[in-house]
A and B are shown apart, each in its own frame.
Chain A
Amino acid sequence: MAKRITIDPITRIEGHLRIDCEVDGGKVDKAWASGTMWRGVEQILLGRDPRDAWAITQRFCGVCTTVHAIASVRAVENALGIAVPKNAQFIRNLMIAAHAVHDEIVHFYHLSALDWVDVTSALKADPVKTAELAESLSSWHGNGRHEMTATKERLVKLVDSGQLGIFANGYWGHPAMKLSPEVNLLAVTHYLQALDVQRKANKIVSILGSKTPHIQNVAVGGVANAIALDSQSVLSVERLLAIKTAIDELEQFVHQVYNVDVAAVAAFYPEWTKQGRGVVNYLAAPEFPIDERGTELETVGGYIANGDLASYQPIKTFGDPLLRDNVAESVKHSWYRGGKGALHPYAGETVPEYTDFQENAKYSFVKSPTFAGKPAQVGPLARVLMAVAAKHEPVVGHLTRILGTVEALSKSKVPLDALHSTIGRHAARAVMCAVQVDVLKRQWQRLMDNLAKGDVATFEPPVFPKGEVTGFGFHEAPRGLLSHWVVIRDGVIANYQAVVPTTWNAAPRNEADDPGPYEASLVGTPLADPERPLEVLRTIHSFDPCLACAVHLADPTKAPIAEVLVQ
């Protein structure tokens, strides 16, 4: 008999997601993704000064905030057709890349590793054997027996105290947990080390952005960082060197720890390269402009249809018509007033019309975006596949290195097709994290070189014309393609729409009733223990949803029979 699983929100801090699955014969048969909170920011923006939009749109979220500031100023700059000084591009790029590295490390270790790592199993590990294993995998200085022993001792103490804290709500002893006690202890040790490392990335963002979350230094036309190489109060050589030190420390951790751990999880969970495929139309934006108008960017983006790399169409520059002309959003299954079919974002409407959860009608506050009429998956996997299709070596090199580690550990060949999966999304995120560290190094050097030429400009004041202009800004955020779309009339905002990465991935069914990427990825997922649907969380977490959720397991009469908190 079919069972219904509902994953429902508990947090009031971040976005709210609910996942409903129909389970039949031990597998997910159908799934629905529902955003349960209205965003409303677009309505707040109407009639306001476009120069303020970046500060307001950052408040979409309390975690991934920088990305909205960036996409917003790019949208307004695109509408005005203005250039921004090179230094401003480099400073923005440094913040973008540092934010992404932070997000990717935290996502893997602190938000999703415990889907794969059994903390209670680590209590049984031999720390000496763990250190031997760790040292055989990488030269990281934190892999010694002293570290492994200290972690185990503290873990035992924490468990004995009855205060599991972070680890209180894991799926310990679940049949889908496959790692040995030693690998589990190694992962817990790196989980703790990652706590120290992640803040180095955040410091880069706060040195440049004045604070994080919610950076304060961007402006339509550039950035508000005054540069004086010998002053304490502005961006000085001392601060730039502090950034360089942090970049070097991040590189070491990403290469020697994060990349190796993801490869190990992939090698020990090969069956997860066959789960979570879902929608295989992919969309990604190029990123890191190195000139004033965003005609030259460091990484590649574009569209791939139906998982076929030969179908790759590149998005090359800011304002690229391929993206501009192909995005539309449907509200057929969303809690908004509709009836006009899928609308282009310039004409988009955000008037709420709540109906309660109706699986065959409206069931989400998330709209359903499409590219050329089709749902598309966004995120690190999309970025990596674009790079493979474009033969973009700075990404392909890291992909080859990480897949090489997987192959060495699993003693089997890993085909490219294995990337279209739950574990493939984790692997792609690890690849992109290494790419972002390279970007940090290059952008830092570009900034230093440009300053050495005597160019210290960071801002060009914008001028708003009479009449109507439209523009869009894209940004390849950690979770995928983000785009902000703005209509400006006589210098004030006449319409504003943000099409965010999780809108693409968590989309409900669209105008043609095609399921969105989360929904499609869950179909066929086997559940070893339907009372504890760990496998559903593995796939949803692989997309890096910006959420914490609770799982309520309900019987067909919908009475809750179990409740398990997860993050």
Chain B
Amino acid sequence: MNSWIHPGAILILGALLLPLFKGRARQGYLLLLPALAFMAVLGSAEGQHGIFNFLGQKIVFGRVDKLSIIFGYIFSIAAFAGMLFGINVKEDGHQIAALVYAGSAMGAVFAGDYLSLFIFWEFMAFASMFLILYRGTKKAYDAATRYILIHIFGGVCLMAGIFLQYSTTHSFAFNHVEVGGAAAVLILIGFILNAAVPPLGAWLADAYPEATVSGAVFMSAFTTKSAVYALIRGFAGADVLVWLGVIMAVYGVVYAVLENDIRRLLAYHIISQVGYMVAAVGIGTEMAINGATAHAFAHIIYKGLLFMGAGSVLYVTGKSKLTELGGLYRTMPLTFVLYMVGGFAISSVPLFSGFVSKSIVVSAAAESHLSYAWLFLTLASAGTFLHTGLKLPYFTFMGENKGIAAKEPPLNMLLGMAFAAFLCIFIGIYPDFLYRMLPYAIDYRPYSAEHIVWTSQILFFTGLAFYIYIKKLGGEETISIDTDWFYRKGSLLFMDFARKVVLKVDERISNAYKGEILEPSKRVAANCWRFDISFIDGIVNGTANLFAELSTVFRRLQTGQVQHYAIIIVTGVIVLINLLLFFR
């Protein structure tokens, strides 16, 4: 019991020792930490660990049950895959930020009370901010600033909710929250902001594409999925989440149609995929919670893989726009194939991981007879395949050969992708591996003839529609405005408007001021000025001249003998006192 080691602490504290390692040892150490964190999860016994008393409150760092364990597993796997992919990043600060970020996400998952949850929640935001900053561009700097500000806003909402809740319950225990009441709403806002639920989710598509190549891989895993975890803990069965989730799922694919930047397109698909999880949390049945968890698990791996693929393209070519890419399968065949594994997994092609996880969510909607939710989630499913499985790879790797000089990325990046791709296929072929870890017992067989035929029809006919509309689907050199418009442009327009109105008012006031106050005071000032020149300046200049002359005298008195200095000081003091009395 006492021997429980916090898996997140391994990453966070371990990261701080990173500067001690160099070369090969550093690489080994970077991979060792996530592996050790995984072992720590593996060795965690269910129950409560790491309990402290803080100001009379029980702080629980280790709530270990089936739900936190499966998130612990996937977070340590994601940290390992991301580290393998990004091990060639030289800056220690970047690697430390990535590890602290992953460790904090695990801290949030194992937190049994709101206080420790909140601490890790904020650590996540600040650590991940550095993964954007390390990109080193002006755009990244601006995006990171917006990113941290919006997360601070979310954090403040969460904190306000926590303390408001405490004022009625006198407890910081983090358990199921009944919707209704300001406290619950504030906590919910804090959670859904991190889950990127619109209209609070624009930060995701704004920030992730500006992050570093490996930073975006990390970011795609932790923030939204730890929020899904928090929603499962706090708000399972909250009806509002069904609709928010469905809106997210559709919203993500609609924006993806318009997107030109490949990593931003993938970012919109994170929002869409997290929509399935949020909707499942809202449905709240055991099957739905299993679905949300399983889909989070599968999603972290394939989305990491997709970001690795798109990141590799950016890393090698320096380009990330569909309009600038094309024909890369010739020079980057391995990257292409590995990306496609992720593309098939997210599109829930049979034998890939998404097929065995997303279908639980969709089936849970069917079992709860939520027909509209079912229809929209299925529609979003078609949209997912359309973009991540067809449009993005077609216009990046196939399509028009733009003759871009490219080669495969470094070995460690390929290995990171291969590791993630292996898991996508392994889970797809052997779903019981995933199902056994789920929080509730599950009796679900994804590979029924009916389900396979049903899915292939959706996929094939999406492909057919893609083929028909292919000319309309190429990238366009545009960006799309999202709800971040309100703080990126709206505030400026507001300022502009305010400036114009304020300017008018200001002008009136200053005109009146000019006529009635300024002119008379100018005349007074002119008189004062004359007085100043002739009288005050006379005194000042006279004094200055006096001191200038005195100083030439005193300069000659520099004898180096202490008693002389003493006399000079005493004389000086007397002169000063006299001057003061004279000018008083």
Our verdict on whether A and B bind, yes or no, reads no
